[in-house]
Amino acid sequence: MLEHYASFAVETKMSGVSQGRLQLTLVDDVITRGRTVFAAACRLREAFPDAEIRAFAFLRTLAPDEVLGQVVDPCEGEVCWVFGDTRRRP
């Protein structure tokens, strides 16, 4: 994950941002293990510690024991840091 983290930078000067609570949404094409989106969220958390950070992906890979219902079934989950690597649920 460190190589992903090192590849991101955050510009903290944003014009037109209100003084209210900042809400940020990361958009990714595919989430596999979640390392890229997790690294990007870590960079954003450092720059904007009070922001609400969410992510959206168009696709995600299936877990080894997961059964595909329909390709269009939406999914909500989380990516977290466990034992030195990212884990995606589901």
What is the rounded (10 degree) CA torsion for 44, 3, 78, 56? 60
Q: Which two tokens stand for residue 27?
A: 């958009």
Q: State the average pLDDT over residues 19-30.
A: 87
Residue 3 has pLDDT above 90, yes or no: no
Question: What digits encode the pLDDT tens for the residues 44-83?
Answer: 999 989 899 999 999 888 888 888 777 777 888 889 899 9
Token readout for 69 is 């219902």
Q: Is the dihedral of CA 67, 59, 75, 48 positive or negative?
A: positive
Residue 30, pLDDT > 70, answer yes
Domain ranges of the chain: 1-6+23-62+77-90
If you average pLDDT over residues 16-26, what whole number do you get? 78
Give the pLDDT confidence score for residue 52 in this predicted structure: 94
Q: Is the pLDDT of residue 19 over 80?
A: no
